[in-house]
Amino acid sequence: MVIVGTGGQGLITLLQILAEAAFSEGYDVKTSELHGLSQRGGSVEVHIRFGKKIYSPMVAQGSADLILGLEAQECLKAIYFANGKTIFLINKFLVPISGQKLLKQEEILKNLKKISKNIILIPAADICEKELGKNVVAGIYLICLACFKGLIPINPKSIFKAIEKIVPKKYLDLNIKTFYLAKHEK
Amino acid sequence: MFQNVLEKKDKKVILLGNEAIVRGALEAGVQFVSTYPGTPASEIGDTFYRLQDLYFEYSTNEKVALEAGIGASFSGLKTMVVMKDFGLNVCLDALFPFCYTGTKGPTVIVVADDPSCHSSAQSEQNTRGFAFLLHIPILEPSDSQECKDFVKFAFEISEKFKMPVLLRTTTRVNHQSGLVKLGKLASRSSLRRGDAGFVKDVNRFNTLPPRVLEMHKELLDKIEKIQEYSEKSKLNLVGGKAGRGLSSSKLGIITSGVSYLYVMEALKELKINLPILKLGFFYPLPERKIKNFIKPLKKVLIVEESEPFLEKEIKIFAKEVNCGLKVVGKELVPEIGELKPGIVAQAIAKFFGKKFNKLSVISNQLSVNRRPQLCQGCPYWLVFGAIKKAVKEKDVIFGGDIGCYMLAGVPPHNIQDYLFCMGSSIGIAHGIKKAVSGKQKLITFIGDSTFFHAGIPALINAVHNQSNPLIIIMDNKTTAMTGHQPHPGIKTDAAPIIKIEDVISACQVKNLKIIDPIKQNEFIQTIREFLKKDDVSVIIARRPCKFVK
Ligand SMILES: Cc1ncc(C[n+]2csc(CCOP(=O)(O)OP(=O)(O)O)c2C)c(N)n1
Ligand code: SF4
């Protein structure tokens, strides 16, 4: 699975939660992340793979099962990892790129559809903003939703436990509310 | 995850490669750690910083970090020095003689390369190459478990042979997480420095000639012994029949580091079964083991990132034991940029003569080119804004340096005419100003941490040899780019703060002003005024990074 977004969207926390949850279910797990310049508001792309025995921390070209896009335009870059069966789970959320025209949602979808028909667009940022007053938890919302819907083969209970373990106390309440929000939405 | 670093023995936990390195050091009983931050190694120091019992410091630069480590080793402590690849260049001058004298307390130096330059301007460095010059043993782990285990091996080798040992990682190893089975932590009391003592040993710690030539000989003798050790070491592993299916005993693969993981994944995917030699030692290579491995083969594929160092060595070995062997490497595996699982699968498929239906990837016509940006609310916006108002950009040469402010070189700023390595903005500025004299004006940027790291000698040179750049010190009160580490100009513990302005005054700079760039008018006026000066001028643009409380 590949997660794409922009710096500051909390991708590394999502990765840690998923890794911890997958591990608690007995899977071997590896993740790959990037720090530094790549985080200064630029594109961010992180990988997680779990299964019986995992060698590579990185997803190979054309072999992602799920691509989670926290920002819609970034999904276009992740096409490299997609094949005809890849599921795109996309946050309906756009962060402008300086010096470039903002792409239209339809344009993005049209392009993604050329490679896979499995595209799920969710206004996660809006839902979280409306229900919780914060759109930063859109990522948490989407991974919870993906587990509830069976898009990620991890029991939501394991995700819940991993959230409790990893999210700092200060934000835990908000994250737990997000979990239940996703549960009701499913 | 940080909590996992201190978990109990025998537990399996998820660790980032960098955290696993720390854990390995704690299991080995490291007592003294020094570092200068740099991606992808930064979290190693940042993790040590949060621990108690052992001694840890952020040093002013990598050379003094290593020198501090050498002092600790000579006083008998178990020592680790951590840096990114470019840091090794900075400390080489001290590392050469350290390889000659050898260690007293076991010493491991961690150096993190960044192929593909995810977080590195400057160059795509392959630290392995230094092995041939330094004669320093180099180990290369591929995942988090090995990061932990190899650090312990490295300490053992250092202890046994009295040599510093280099642990070489790459971004995808440092920033990979995976399961690690933990070993026993060294006892907390053993981590303290209590019984350290420097025992004089003039013959050993002085590299004066003619003794230095004897030391050179001793070094080569040690390496010969370490090679014997490497021959038997389980770090060099023959095996790995990853895929069930097609197999061949005439073909084989030799690989190391993260590339090994891609090889195993590819064999699984391709359903190919081949003998594999995974090298944990890069230097000295287990020559006999490699020769035995290649002897029965017709063709061998070398999967390594960047320069073909292994390939070249193995070609030489092949001449001695198997003249007919075809050694395939860089013709199938790219030399520029990091490897990826798909690239390796492609190479192996070609090597094996199997069709690999690379899943057709529809190229995307819409471009998404999101470059890194200064944060909203970053003080540097104010500095760059003032410059644009103060001068005509085309009339001024702009010198860049290493830190968040190197984004001066991207839109919308576009005020950076050269960018090299830490501190060089001032050094190069001096040369340019000497060359062009009064004809062209020059402004350079340098961060506070970078100024302490390597800016000061260059400033002294410019003053002493009398040129007149305008130097703007981007004093944001932190080492921002690498994760907000402290530096000598910031309050930490009881240490005195070293004020940048005091250093600059002591360097006899007469034109010096400290300005908060929010005061745009003053900033603009000062730039214009200082550009007219015949001697060096400095503006300290003092306003904290928005992440500094
Ligand atoms: C020799 C060397 N060591 C470490 C680094 C990694 N590095 C890149 S930027 C940077 C920090 C610079 O800090 P500062 O000058 O204060 O600028 P800021 O990021 O705070 O703007 C460091 C340490 C490097 N590029 N070269
Ligand atoms: S981290 Fe600090 S110094 Fe770097 S761009 Fe952001 S605000 Fe500026």
On whether any CB of chain A is under 8 Å from the CB of B261, the answer is yes
Angstrom CA distances, B435 to B439, B465, B508, stand at 10, 13, 23
Indicate the length of chain B as a whole number: 549
Cα B543 from Cα B546, distance rounded (Å): 9
Q: Report how far residue B433's alpha carbon sits from residue B214's, in angstroms, rounded to the nearest whole number.
A: 46
- Assess whether pLDDT exceeds 70 at residue B78: yes
Amino acid letter for position A30: K
Contact map slice: B 292-351 vs A, CB within 8 A:
340-342, 345
pLDDT in tens, A142-182: 999 999 999 999 999 999 999 999 999 999 999 999 999 99
CA atoms of B135 and B132, how far apart (whole Å): 6
Residues 191-250 of B with CB under 8 A from A: 242
Question: Strand B138-139 vs strand B281-283: parallel, antiparallel, or unpaired?
Answer: antiparallel
List, for residues B195-232, the tens digit of each pLDDT value.
Answer: 789 999 999 999 999 999 999 999 999 999 999 999 99
Tell me the per-residue pLDDT of B374-404, one tens digit each, with 9 for 90 and over.
Answer: 998 999 999 999 999 999 999 999 999 999 9
Integer-rounded Cα Rg, in Å, for chain B is 26
Does residue A133 belong to the interface with chain B, where contact is any CB pair within 8 Å?
no
Query: How confident is the model over B430-454, as pLDDT tens digits?
Result: 999 999 988 899 999 999 999 999 9
> Which class for B194: exposed (0-12), middle (13-18), buried (19 or more C-beta within 10 A)?
exposed
pLDDT of residue B358: 63
Tell me which residue has its CA closest to atom 4 in ligand 2: B404
User: CA-CA distances (angstroms) from residue B1 to B16, B282, B402, B430?
Assistant: 7, 29, 29, 45
Enumerate the H helices of chain A as residue ranges: 11-24, 74-77, 105-113, 124-132, 138-148, 156-166, 169-185
Region of poorest pLDDT, from B34-48, B108-122, B238-252, B356-370 = B356-370
For chain B, percent of residues with pLDDT exceeding 70: 97
pLDDT at B477 over 90: yes
What's the length of chain A? 186
d(CA B82, CA A36): 17
In this prediction, residue B72 has a pLDDT band, given cuts at 50, 70 and 90, of very high
Q: Which residue of B has its CA nearest to A85?
A: B359
| Residue B362, both tokens | 């529809």
CB of B262 less than 8 A from some CB of A: yes
- Can you list the domains of chain B with their CATH numbers? 2-232 (3.40.50.970), 236-352 (3.40.50.920), 380-542 (3.40.50.970)
Task: Note the pLDDT of residue B244.
Answer: 67
Burial A10-33 (b: 16+ CB within 10 A, else e): bbbbbbbbbbbbbbbeebebbbbb
Nearest-angstrom CA–CA distance, B333 and B343: 7
Q: Is the pLDDT of residue B237 over 70?
A: yes
Contact B505, B524 (CB under 8 A): no
Closest residue CA from atom 12 of ligand 1: B403
The residues, ordered by sequence, that sit 6+ positions from B406 with a Cβ below 8 Å of its Cβ are B121, B400, B416, B419
Q: How many Cβ contacts (< 8 angstroms) between chains A and B?
A: 161
DSSP-assigned states of every residue in B386-418: HHHHHS-GGGEEEE--SSGGGGGGSTTT---SB
Kindly report each contact of residues B493-501 with a partner whose C-beta sits within 8 Å and lies 24 or more positions away, as own/partner.
Answer: B498/B452, B500/B448, B500/B451, B500/B473, B500/B475, B500/B540, B501/B540
pLDDT given at position B363 = 62
Give the mutation candidate from B359, B369, B413, B479 for the A interface (greatest A CB count, under 10 A).
B359
- In the three-class reduction of DSSP (H, G, I as helix; E, B as strand; rest coil), residue B270 is classed as helix
Over the stretch A29-46, which tens digit does the pLDDT of each residue have?
A: 999 998 765 556 788 999
Does A59 contact chain B (CB < 8 Å)? yes
> Is any atom of ligand 1 closer than 6 Å to the C-beta of B422?
yes
Tell me the pTM.
0.96
Q: Is B250 exposed, middle or buried (0-12, 13-18, 19+ CB in 10 A)?
A: exposed
User: DSSP readout, B256-267?
Assistant: EHHHHHHHHHHH
The mean pLDDT of B484-502, rounded to a whole number, is 93
Query: Distances from the Cα of A19 to the Cαs of A27, A49, A166, B48, in angstroms?
Result: 9, 8, 11, 23
Phi, psi of B252 (to 5 degrees): -155, 165
B476 φ/ψ sector (left φ>0, alpha ψ -120 to 50, else beta): alpha
Out of B114-118, B191-195, B449-453, B486-490, least confident range: B191-195
Can you tell me the mean pLDDT for B322-343?
A: 97
CB distance A68 to A3 below 8 Å: yes
Q: What percent of chain B has a predicted confidence (pLDDT) above 90?
A: 88
CA–centroid distance, A52 to ligand 1, in Å, is 40
Distance CA B396, CA B393 (A): 6
**pLDDT value at A60 more than 80:** yes
Q: How many CA atoms lie within 13 A of B463 on its CB side?
A: 19
Mutate to test the interface with B, among A3, A23, A35 (most CBs of B within 10 A): A35
What does the pLDDT average to over B321-341?
Answer: 97
How confident is the model at residue A36, as a pLDDT? Answer: 60
At B373 the pLDDT is: 87
Residue B189: CB atoms within 10 A of its CB come to 8
Report the CATH architecture of A2-185. 3-Layer(aba) Sandwich (3.40)
Interchain contact, B262 vs A82, CB within 8 Å: no
pLDDT of residue B367: 72
Q: What is the ipTM of this complex?
A: 0.95
Which residue has a Cα nearest atom 1 of ligand 1? B87
Task: Tell which residue, B372, B514, B541, has the closest CA to residue A34.
Answer: B372
pLDDT in tens, A80-137: 999 999 999 999 999 988 778 888 889 999 999 999 999 999 999 999 999 999 999 9
Per residue in B525-542, pLDDT (tens digit) is: 999 999 999 999 999 999
B340 CB-near residues (< 8 Å, 6+ apart): A58, A60, A61, B262
Whether A152 contacts chain B with CB within 8 A: no
Alpha-carbon distance of A183 to A148, in angstroms, equals: 7
What does the pLDDT read at residue B368? 77
Please, what's the largest Cα pairwise distance for chain B? 76
Phi/psi for B183 (5° steps) reads -105, -170
Q: How do residues B121-160 score in pLDDT, each as one tens digit?
A: 899 999 999 999 999 999 999 999 999 999 999 999 999 9
> In which band, very low, low, confident or very high, does the pLDDT at B239 lie, cut at 50, 70 and 90?
confident
Instruction: Give B301's pLDDT tier (boundaries 50, 70, 90).
Output: very high
Calculate the average pLDDT of chain A.
Answer: 93
Domain parsing of chain A, residue ranges: 2-185
CA distance B407 to chain A (A): 10
- Say if A119 is an interface residue toward chain B (CB within 8 Å): no
> What mean pLDDT comes out for the span B101-115?
98
**Ligand 1: which of B83, B88, B125, B449 to mutate, most ligand atoms within 8 Å of CB?**
B449
CA angle A47, A52, A53 (to 5 degrees): 70
Alpha-carbon distance of B479 to B37, in angstroms, equals 8
